[in-house]
Structure 1
């Protein structure tokens, strides 16, 4: 680790949120391959943008073409993959953007670490509230995910062509206390998006009171 570095203070989180007129937070989708994470996350991003909110989706496959292209699928590399994404998501959220991540993120401890990172206090701005972290578990039976198999990955995994494939030859640890659980084999994409938006509204995350007292409603 580098030792010759110094933290440079910047604007407070509340300043950014007031000026951008929205709150920043992270919506973390987790679930098996072919569960529908990316499809729901993309539809949610589009819906939030239509509401006039700044949102950005970080996708598991897409990130591996750039930021994480040096990582494989060993447990160690999966841990590092999620660590990096958690840091990036926090930066987006801190900038008053809604960060949406869709990653299998199979290990509970990695997801917990991402949550703790968002909750951590900023010593430079101790009055800033923690960044909300909403875990969305897209729950699907393995048999249904295999039936969907849009990329043919389960078939290859069953044939031994893909080592360490989550749900087949590598574990998936289900969330114990996800804020939202979506059974994607039983709900449409539109119903899933509405459930998430209803939750965000119930927590006041899509509303921000401006400095002159006017309420911004979405």
Structure 2
């Protein structure tokens, strides 16, 4: 990648801490990772719903939605997945600076790529949420028919079938959406955010 010269970072007058004070809460990336069908987007949206109802500033960056715009044209090879995650990491970092609790729902199968995003923000601003539904549970859901197509060889580089998934070794939070209801899973995340001081206790 070509290095662009003659660029200088411009410091804004209003900073992240100012926005935290105005918003009444801290900002962070809630990085939901797990197999396709684990319930990442569903969980991220339910958590956002609960946060929004309590007046917190939130936003969800969804994997499929991002690929329709910002990351349009990227495929699913390891190289394209890395670039996909790099871009969304940079966008998520901007949301953190804006004082927002931003959720990202991406398979993000490689530990190295997730750690690359963690390194973009300060300690405590990256919360890895492992949505730990088993492959069997994910295949039983398969609302998009993706696993069926992957097993038939119609989809290449499909995580969990033809490509690996590297589960988090030490995530901030693990949520088993295979054994919990959606409300229980969302409350697990809310409880964590309260306990760690990102938001006020209800």
**TM bucket, shorter chain:** over 0.9
RMSD: 1.1
Q: Which runs of 4+ in 1 moved over 2 A?
A: 19-22
- The aligned runs of 1:176-195 (5 Å cut-off) are 176-195=169-188
1:7 and 2:41 aligned: no
What is the DSSP-based 3-state SS (H/G/I as helix, E as strand, rest coil) of the residue aligned with 2:104? strand
Question: Hey, what does 1:117 align to over in structure 2?
Answer: 120
1:170 pairs with one of 147, 163, 168: 163
Structure-2 separation of matches of 1:161 and 1:82: 24
User: What is the CA deviation profile of residues 104-142 of structure 1, one whole-angstrom value per residue up to 9, with x for unaligned ones?
Assistant: 0000001111111112xxxxxxxxxx4521110011111
- In 2, Cα distance between the equivalents of 1:31 and 1:3? 38
1:91 counterpart = 2:94: yes
Is 1:19–2:12 an aligned residue pair? no
- Deviation of the 1:93 alpha carbon: 1.0
**1:123 corresponds to which residue?**
none
Where do residues 89-168 of structure 1 align in structure 2 (5 Å cutoff)? Answer: 89-119=92-122, 130=123, 132-168=125-161
* CA contact 2:23–2:56 (8 Å) conserved in 1: no
Of the three residues 44, 53, 57, the one matched with 2:56 is 53
In terms of mean alpha carbon deviation, does 160-169 or 8-17 score higher?
A: 8-17
Q: TM-score, normalised by structure 1?
A: 0.88
Question: Which residue in 1 is equivalent to 2:34?
Answer: 31
Q: Which whole-Å CA distance do the structure 2 matches of 1:202 and 1:50 have between them?
A: 19
Task: Measure, in 2, the Cα distance between the counterparts of 1:21 and 1:39.
Answer: 26
Partner of residue 81, structure 2: 78
**Structure 1: runs of 5 or more not aligned:** 120-129, 208-216
Q: Which secondary structure state, in structure 2, belongs to the residue aligned with residue 118 of structure 1?
A: coil
User: Where does the alignment leave 5 or more consecutive residues of structure 2 unmatched?
Assistant: none
Contact 2:66/2:72, CA 8 A, preserved across alignment = yes
Q: Distance in 1 between matches of 2:155 and 2:180?
A: 30
Query: How high is the TM-score relative to the length of structure 2?
Result: 0.95
For this pair of structures, how many residues does the alignment match?
199
User: What secondary structure sits across from 1:136 in the alignment?
Assistant: strand
